[in-house]
Amino acid sequence: MWWMVFKWVLIGPVLRLLGRPRVVGVENLPKDGAAILASNHLAVMDSFFLPLMVPRPIKFLAKNEYFTGKGLKGAFKKWFFSSVGCIPIKRGSASAAQDALDAGVGALQDGQLLGLYPEGTRSPDGRLYKGKTGMARMALDTGAPIIPVAMVDTEKFNPPGSTLPHPTKVQIRIGKPLDFSRFEGMSGNRFIERAITDEVMYELMKLSGQAYVDVYAQDVKDGVVVPGEDREAGAA
């Protein structure tokens, strides 16, 4: 119920006015049943615009801190993220990765749309970074297709560090579902999971027009690595 209120009464009308969002490829979404929406991640507002423009509710895995804050602000965050269907995940613990996998698999087994950001964090510079393989494991464990979704210009609407939106036309491009049933029974094979993840990231690169960098975004943010030459969209 609250999802509909946010979408059509509270937040949706404002985002439609300021972002003038346009979705391309909505016919590629299944009308029912489980699917993974694998999106690039440019801005916080990705998690608002995508549910706004998709006709079905989306479950997102959200960091547990959104549900544990104190005071009025903390209570509002907990209410908001719970109401829109986010699943809390504790990060940094020894079991965090498995907990996230279990939560995602559970949502898919319930026939939900599961929204994931395979890069694991927002892009530090607008480029597309290496994907993490948890998405592939969920697809193999459940048989759910993976649908690439490209968010375009959300970082202009919601620049890093900004508190107020910058009115900008936002576009969402939804690709065709990717079926990995040919790998049935191979969950846990790290080579297969990496191959699936790389295929999804390649499709995202083509959809979004972003340059691709073959390192993890979090490692760049942490200063662990410095990205080298990138692969341009559409390149071999």
Mean residue pLDDT across the chain: 90
CATH superfamily, with its number, for domain 17-222: Glycerol-3-phosphate (1)-acyltransferase (3.40.1130.10)
Reported confidence tier of residue 230, pLDDT bands at 50, 70, 90: low
Taking the domains of the chain in order of start, what are their residue ranges? 17-222
pLDDT of res. 84: 72
Give the angle subtended at the CA of 150 by the CAs of 146 and 155, to the nearest 5°: 140
- Write out 145-178 in H/E/C secondary structure: CEEEEEEECHHHHCCCCCCCCCCCCCEEEECCCE
pLDDT of res. 207: 98
Q: How far apart, in whole angstroms, are the C-alpha atoms of residue 59 and residue 37?
A: 10
pLDDT of res. 44: 87
> Percent of the chain beyond pLDDT 70?
93
Q: Is the pLDDT of residue 234 over 90?
A: no
Q: What is the pLDDT of residues 54-76, one digit of tens each?
A: 999 999 988 788 788 888 878 87
Answer for the pair 173, 28: CB distance below 8 angstroms, yes or no.
no
Which position has the higher pLDDT, 230 or 145? 145
Q: Is the pLDDT of residue 206 over 50?
A: yes
pTM listed for this prediction: 0.90
Average confidence (pLDDT) over 79-98: 76
Strands 171-174 and 146-152, sheet pairing: antiparallel
Average confidence (pLDDT) over 162-183: 95
pLDDT of res. 93: 62
Average confidence (pLDDT) over 155-169: 90
CA-wise closest residue to 167 among 157, 176, 158, 159: 157
Answer for the pair 88, 64: CB distance below 8 angstroms, yes or no.
yes
For 91-96, which contacts have Cβ atoms below 8 Å and span 24 or more sequence positions?
A: 91/63, 91/64
Average confidence (pLDDT) over 98-111: 94
Which position has the higher pLDDT, 1 or 22? 22
pLDDT of res. 92: 64
Average confidence (pLDDT) over 186-201: 97
Q: Is the pLDDT of residue 131 over 90?
A: yes
pLDDT of res. 235: 44
